[in-house]
Structures are given as C-alpha cells and as structure tokens.
Structure 1
Amino acid sequence: MAFNIGLSGLRAATSDLNVTGNNIANAGTAGFKQSRAEFADVYAASVLGSGSNAQGSGVLLANVSQLYNQGNINYTQNALDLAINGNGFFVTSNNGDVGYTRAGYFGTDRDGFVVNNFGYRLQGNAVDANGNVQSGVVGDLKIETASQAPKASSKLDQNFNLNSTLVSPKTWQASYDAEYNRWLNDPVNGVVDPANPTGAQQAAAATSAASVADATFNPSDPTTYNSSTSVNIYDTQGNAHVLTQYFVKTGANDWDMKMLVDGRNPADPGSTTPYALGLSFNSTGQLQSVSDENATPGLVTIGADMTVTINAASGNPPTPGSGWIPAISDNGKPPVWNWNGAQANAGGIAFDFSDATQFSSAFAVNSVSQDGYTTGQLSGLEIDDTGVIFARYTNGQSKVQGQIVLANFANVQGLTPVGKTGWVQSFESGEPVVGTPRTGTMGALQAGALEDSNVELSDQLVNLIVAQRNYQANAKTIETESAITQTIINLR
C-alpha cells in the first residue's frame, strides 16, 4: 500500500515540478499567464463507506489552473504592440478558427491585415466609406497602405479680431506748434512738400486728421491696408493656393475685406484687383453684417412657380469657366465661393467668420481651419485606449482604419489553452462577450507596449524547492517500504 502512496506522491511532485518549470520557462513570454498545480487526497471507498479509521491512499492532481492577474506593462517602439490593462482577450482568426490571446505582438502582412506572430488576423470593427466605425461588424482588421487622395477645400473657418483703435489707411496726421510750424507724417501715397503740394491732398489745422484722396489699395504696400493674413487652400488635384485677406478700415465700425487667390481676383483670374466684402460690426464689437462690395444693386421679380439662378459675379446665368465665383447671402451669413477649375475640377468653399470681432486689441487670427489637403503617404499608425486605429499621412491628415475588439468570458478558468499563448472557448468558459476596450468590463488598450508574463520568479524558485523536497520525501516513503519488505523477506 505504501508503495502506491509513495508513487502517487512522486507523480504529484513531478507534476508540480513540470508546472513550476513551465512557469519559469515562460517568465519572459508576453501575455503568458502562470499555472498552478492543485492536488487532492485519495481515500479508498467501499460499499459500506469509510470509517473513522480509514487510511488515505495517496494524492492525485486535481487541476492545473491558470492565474489571470495583470502582468506589468512594458513599453516598446512598435505602434502595433498592444497591451490590455484590465480584463479581456484579443480576438484572432486563423482561417475561420477563432482564438483568444493576451500576447499583443502584432504587425501587418503583405496584404495589410493586422496579424500576430503566427499569422492569425486580429479582429475588430470595420469602417464605412466615410471613416465611421461600424459597431457590431466584426472582421479582419486591415490597414490601407495606399496614398490618401487629395481633397479640395470646401470650408474655411476663421476667428479673428480687428483692432477697433486703428484708423483708415487713407488718414494721416499733421501736427502744429504754437508758431504754426508743423511736423507731417509721410502721406500714404507720395511725399507732400508744404510749399508746393503735390501727390496726395492735405488739409489740417492744429492737430487733425486729413484724408488722402489717392491712397489706392496696393497689396504690395502695407501702408494701404491695416492688417492681412494668408491661408493655404487646395483644389481637387491637391494643388495648394494661397488665399490672402487684407483688412481696410473704412469707418468707425466698418471694414473692407479684400481677397486674392494666388494674387488674382477669385471672380476674375485675369485681374489682380481683389474681391471685396464689407464687414460691419455693432457697438459691442460683434460682426453684424456682411455685404458684397462688388455687386451692382438690382431688382429681380420672380413669378409663381419659377426658379431663377443668378451668378453673383455678373448677374448672368452661371456658365462653365475658370476662376472662383463668390456669392453672398442677404442675411449676413458668411459667403460661399464656388471655384470653377482654375487648376482642376470645380469645387466650393464656404467661409465662416461669424465669430469675428472688433475689439480694442491688436489684430489677431485666433483660429483658422480648412478641410482641404494634398496627397498624403502613410507615415505611421496610432491606436488610442479604446482600440481605434488611426493612420497618419504625410499631409498632416489622419484616417480611422478600424477599432479593435476584445472578448471576455463568464469563467476564464474554463478556457482551454492551445499553446502559442492562446486559448479557445469551451463549454466551461461559456460564450464570449465581445465589446470594444473601455466599455463594460473590458480593459483599456495601451499601444506601443506589451503585457509581461505574470510569473514571479522568486515565488517559482521557492515552489521549485518545495516540489523537490516533496519528491525526495515521497521517494523516502518508497525506500522505507522497501526496507520493511526486505525485513519480512529476511525472516526466513
């Protein structure tokens, strides 16, 4: 009997050594979860049951369980290295066979699919043509490596402040002393000799402001406007064009905004005369109205059930051509420019400067944004903590490529390990609950990082010593039983 008990102890100690050795071997394996050998005693059973003097029959290996506590996060330089901080498993597919893993070694294959070391494809939510994540549509995640097509500018948002303390560029100062000697600032256009006035007209008494009659706007002469700003806009082929806006104060609360695209009038590319809009502000400095300074007043009478389309530049029905055709509404809303292919196909730009102000502070463009861009090449990937994958391009744009999903189980101990740091579901684990990171019980993702093995080497080395001593002790049981048996044999 003691032989069998000792043998069962040796088998148990061997199993413990195997489990501990496997833990030690995988101490450096990302996503590995340590195992634990769990034992139970054995008692001989009879029809009448076991009495109080029943003797044990040894030990058996009841279970080898895995401990799913969090491993340390180790940061790497690979954007597609992923770590889960919390609950959940990555979902992979190998030709339709679904598996689960915590090992976040991922990259892309030659077709652009996100795969792990063994070529299993990472699963996630796809995106539609507009880059919106399609929740619930789980499939193979793929990174589009093709160039990003250019996009023509269709909207320009600006928030700027015009300095209310400035005076019109057509105004200059003349100052006199008590003996009627004066000091003149140079006029905007030309230099005036007080004995023989030429060029700009002057009129002054004491200290006064005089209007310069021929101070013609000139984009090359900063003295003919108060402020200016420029921004790049793009056509459908990705060509950049410089839109420059010049601000000229015309009254206490009134300004002209003169605009050129690549130095040309946007309504007439053959002309360098800027297109002008009038901006009027109220007493609190808020933009009140916008007017078309180029328009010719007119009256249009429309009969019943009739639609009339008017070209804002000429008053004629619109015809194909080149240039930028501006339009202005009658309700003070920002203007819309329709661009008819100076370099490429027709597009349109809507201006929004409804938040423009006129305060007693320096001219400043507080914010400016436009939605056009040139062609871009893929330059990198970013993944946020919710699993959304962004592709970054050389044109400064980014595009959503998909969203990684995670899976969790009611009983993770019921998962079946299949090697390669992976598991598959079983009857004991239950069905997977699939969701995106940071929702429900799912953990958060950390990109550019890996989850270390949760093996604690110091604990495992102690377990190794304990298993070794257990093995030696059980071997001693067999040795002692052998000696007793030999004593019985020697009784002859």
Structure 2
Amino acid sequence: MSFQQGLSGLDAAASALDVIGNNVANASTVGFKRGNTNFADVYAASLGIVGASQIGIGVSVGAIQQQFTQGNLTTTDNALDLAVNGGGFFRMSDDGAISYTRNGQFHIDNQGYIINDQKLRLTGYPVSVTGAVTPANPIELQLSASQIPPRATSDPLAGDVTAVLNLDARATVPVLVPFDYTNPSTYNFSTALTVFDTLGVPHNLTTFYVLNPPTPPTGGEWTVHATLDGANPQTLAGNLVFDTSGALSSTPTYTLPSWPLSSGAQTPWSPGVIDFTGTTQYGSASSVDRLTQGGYATGSLVGIGVLSDGIVQGRYSNGQTRSMGQLVLATFADPNGLLNLGNNQWSATSTSGPELVGAPASGSRGVIQSAAVEDSNVDLTNELVAMITAQRNYQANAQTIKTQDQIMQTLINLR
C-alpha cells in the first residue's frame, strides 16, 4: 500500500509544481489570475472497519482554483488600455460567442470595433443620436469616425446666450450722441462673442452698452445695441434697468435681432435669446464675468477616452465631446466555476451561474481606469517559496517508495 500512497503523493506534488510553474510563467501576463492547488486525502471504502482503524491510501488533487484577487494597475500610453479596479469581467464577442476577460489591452480595428489581440470585440450599451446611453442587450461597440454636425447658437438644444456682466455704476452718460458702434465715445462698454449659424459658420456678435440719462435719478438704465460681424447695428427691444442696490430689476432675457447672412445658412438669422441673469451695476470697472453660447462648428474625431463609468467618449476638433457607447462588466455568483479558455478568456458554465451584466461602478462591479492595465496577481516570492515546499514534498514521497522497496527486498531475501 505504501507504494500507492507514495505514488499518489508524487502525482499530487507534480501537479502542484505544474500549477506553480504556470503561475511563474504568467507573472507578466496582463490580467492573469494565479492558481492554487487544493489537496484531498484518500480513504478506501470498506465494511466493518471502524474509523480508528482506517489507514489512508494517499492524496489526490481536490481542485485547482484561480484566485480572482485584484492585480496592481500599471499606466500606459494607450487610452484604450483599460483596467478594472474592482469586480467584474470585460464582456467579449466572437461572432456572437461570448467570453470574459480581465485583460483590457484594446485597440480599434479598421471597421471601428474595439478589439483585443485575439480580434474579439468588446461589448457594451449603444447610445442614441443625442449621445444618451440606451441600456439594452449589450452589442459589439463600434465607434464612428464621422464628423459631428454643427449646432447653431439659435438651436434650442444649445440653450440661451448668457452674459453675466458688471456695468460700472460710476459711468457717465456719453456726451456724443447718437450711438455709433465705430466711435467708442458714443457707448460705455462693449464685449464680443463668437456665435454659429445653421451651417456652423462662425460669426462675431458684439454687444454695446450705453448708459441712459437718469430718469428717475435712482438706479440705472442701459440700452443694449448689437452687431453681427461688425455691421448692421440693431437695438435690443428692452433696456437693462437696475435698482439702487445694483441688482437687475428688469426682465433678464431678450431676443437678439436678426441679420441677413450670405453663408448659405438660414437667413435672416438671429442667434436666439440672450440671458443677462446675474448682471450687476456696482461701483467697479465694467467687466465680463461669464459670456457663453452653446453652438459649434462641425468637428472631426481627434481622440477617444474612457471614463470611470465605462462611457467611451469621443473628442472632436471643435472642442466638443460625444458619448459613443458604454462598455459593460459581467459578474458571476461563482467565478471559480468559469471555464478557462486560454488567452486570458473564460466562458460561463452551469457552475459559475449566468452572467450578471451592468455598467461599471454599479453593484459589485469595479470602475474603469483608462490608459492602464491590470498586472498579473502572481507574487513571485510566494511562488518560489511554494516551489521549494512542493519540491520537498516530492522528495519525501519518493523516499517513502524507496523505503518500502527496501522493506520488500528484505522480505524477499528471507529464507
């Protein structure tokens, strides 16, 4: 029986060395999860033998389990190198065959799909034409390199033109009248802003502020004039009126005038509504605190980034960003039940349970770090120490076989 026990020990120790060797070989493999060898003792099934009389017949390998602990994160220069900081697996598609990985070394193929080195495609949620994520069945993420269309300043989605100013309460009424935008002596203050027509062509919108005579003498009243591209001055239908505390007491919003355009865009055209909410009249120099508009010209894709919640975001030459999709992470009730396919890929089994898919940072899923990869979680120091232990076990089991052989030889030589 000792031969059988020793042989089982040799086999178990050899399996442990195989696992350790595989761990060491993959110490630099991105996303690799080290394995542990679990042993189980072996007893013969028999009748009439009480527990105190049983002698074991060796050892077996109970299981080889991978340890899904977090690996260290290493930064890279590729924005599509992605690391999961926490739980979950990237969900990959190979013509509809789904697999899972922790290796986030991705790039874009010639069709715009996000793929790994094995040409598997990353899956996630699509976005609508407005860039809103549409949670549905995950699809293969395909990024478009097309230009984004322009948005006119007058588009309701662009919002109002906003102008938060301070108009100097110490200013005096201009001596020269009437208003002439080419003569600074006929107005007190001016500011300019680039706006975009319906074709995305930029235009220079300049507003001029003229203090009116004090009627009544308290507070202040200002007339606002505007020009587009330095021509055709027009007056806003309403004045800015301030109370004695310097706060705006008149309506803060006005519709900007319309101007004829020759760019081929809609004409005549108005940049929309200008909102002066927050504008004041204090005793300091006239200044601009905020001057914004929501229009933009057409833009070409210049870069891609991935946010911590998995949103794949395109950056465009016009300064805009656009959501292009959201990658998903899959979790499992029992990750150790996953079937290892090699190439850092796993597939679901009945033991692992079905995939539970969701956005990063939801539930038990981790967050995404862009321009980083997750290192192997192999600790070389521990593996080398474990290798010495497994080697000693192997030698000890070999010694039991040698000893049993010597005993049997002694028995055979009895005469």
Matches within 5 A, 1:176-215: 214-215=176-177
C-alpha distance in 1, partners of 2:135/2:246?
Answer: 46
Is the alpha carbon distance of 1:337 and 1:483 closer, same or farther for their aligned partners in structure 2, counting shifts above 3 Å? farther
Q: Which amino acid aligns with 2:290?
A: S
Name the structure 2 match of 1:40.
40
Name the structure 2 match of 1:26.
26
C-alpha distance in 2, partners of 1:32/1:53?
Answer: 45
Name the structure 1 match of 2:183.
221
Which secondary structure state, in structure 2, belongs to the residue aligned with residue 6 of structure 1?
A: helix
Q: Which amino acid aligns with 2:381?
A: S
Spell out structure 1 runs of 4+ moving beyond 6 A: none
Which stretch has the larger CA shift, 431-440 or 480-489? 480-489
Name the structure 2 match of 1:355.
278
Decide which structure has the larger Cα Rg and report it.
Answer: 1
Q: Following TM superposition, by how much is the alpha carbon of 1:342 offset from its aligned partner in structure 2, in angstroms?
A: 3.4
C-alpha distance in 2, partners of 1:340/1:417?
Answer: 67
Name the structure 2 match of 1:464.
387
C-alpha distance in 2, partners of 1:404/1:258?
Answer: 50
Is the alpha carbon distance of 1:110 and 1:49 closer, same or farther for their aligned partners in structure 2, counting shifts above 3 Å? farther
Name the structure 1 match of 2:157.
none
- TM-score using structure 1 length: 0.78
C-alpha distance in 2, partners of 1:420/1:128?
Answer: 34
Conserved 8 A contact 1:334-1:354: no
Conserved 8 A contact 1:169-1:248: yes
Is the alpha carbon distance of 1:143 and 1:340 closer, same or farther for their aligned partners in structure 2, counting shifts above 3 Å? farther
Q: Following TM superposition, by how much is the alpha carbon of 1:47 offset from its aligned partner in structure 2, in angstroms?
A: 2.9
Name the structure 2 match of 1:3.
3
Name the structure 2 match of 1:260.
227
Q: Following TM superposition, by how much is the alpha carbon of 1:233 offset from its aligned partner in structure 2, in angstroms?
A: 0.8
Conserved 8 A contact 1:126-1:137: no
Q: Following TM superposition, by how much is the alpha carbon of 1:123 offset from its aligned partner in structure 2, in angstroms?
A: 1.2
Q: Following TM superposition, by how much is the alpha carbon of 1:339 offset from its aligned partner in structure 2, in angstroms?
A: 5.8
Matches within 5 A, 1:255-334: 255-265=222-232, 273-277=233-237, 278-289=239-250, 333-334=253-254
Conserved 8 A contact 2:228-2:259: no
Which runs of no fewer than 5 residues in structure 2 stay unpaired?
A: 155-159, 215-219
Conserved 8 A contact 1:380-1:392: yes
Conserved 8 A contact 1:43-1:55: yes
C-alpha distance in 2, partners of 1:405/1:364?
Answer: 47
Counting aligned pairs with the same residue, the percent is 41
Matches within 5 A, 1:331-350: 333-337=253-257, 341-346=261-266, 348=270, 349-350=272-273
Which secondary structure state, in structure 1, belongs to the residue aligned with residue 138 of structure 2?
A: strand
Conserved 8 A contact 2:253-2:273: no
Q: Following TM superposition, by how much is the alpha carbon of 1:166 offset from its aligned partner in structure 2, in angstroms?
A: 0.9
Match of 1:422 among 338, 345, 355: 345
Q: Which amino acid aligns with 1:73?
A: L
Kindly indicate whether residue 242 of structure 2 is the aligned counterpart of residue 237 of structure 1.
Answer: no
Kindly indicate whether residue 82 of structure 2 is the aligned counterpart of residue 159 of structure 1.
Answer: no
C-alpha distance in 2, partners of 1:474/1:95?
Answer: 49
Matches within 5 A, 1:124-139: 124-139=124-139
Match of 2:209 among 244, 247, 250: 247
- TM-score using structure 2 length: 0.92
Which runs of no fewer than 5 residues in structure 1 stay unpaired?
A: 171-213, 266-272, 291-331
Conserved 8 A contact 1:79-1:383: yes
Q: Following TM superposition, by how much is the alpha carbon of 1:55 offset from its aligned partner in structure 2, in angstroms?
A: 1.1
Q: Following TM superposition, by how much is the alpha carbon of 1:139 offset from its aligned partner in structure 2, in angstroms?
A: 1.0
Describe the superposition over 1:416-470 as per-residue Cα deviations: whole angstroms up to 9, x where unpaired.
2111112111111112211111111111111111111111110000011111111
Q: Following TM superposition, by how much is the alpha carbon of 1:274 offset from its aligned partner in structure 2, in angstroms?
A: 4.0
Which stretch has the larger CA shift, 22-31 or 360-369? 360-369
C-alpha distance in 1, partners of 2:343/2:259?
Answer: 58
Q: Following TM superposition, by how much is the alpha carbon of 1:229 offset from its aligned partner in structure 2, in angstroms?
A: 0.8
Conserved 8 A contact 1:264-1:274: no
Describe the superposition over 1:19-50 as per-residue Cα deviations: whole angstroms up to 9, x where unpaired.
00111111111111110000011111113355
Q: Following TM superposition, by how much is the alpha carbon of 1:234 offset from its aligned partner in structure 2, in angstroms?
A: 1.2
Q: Following TM superposition, by how much is the alpha carbon of 1:216 offset from its aligned partner in structure 2, in angstroms?
A: 4.2
Which secondary structure state, in structure 2, belongs to the residue aligned with residue 52 of structure 1?
A: helix
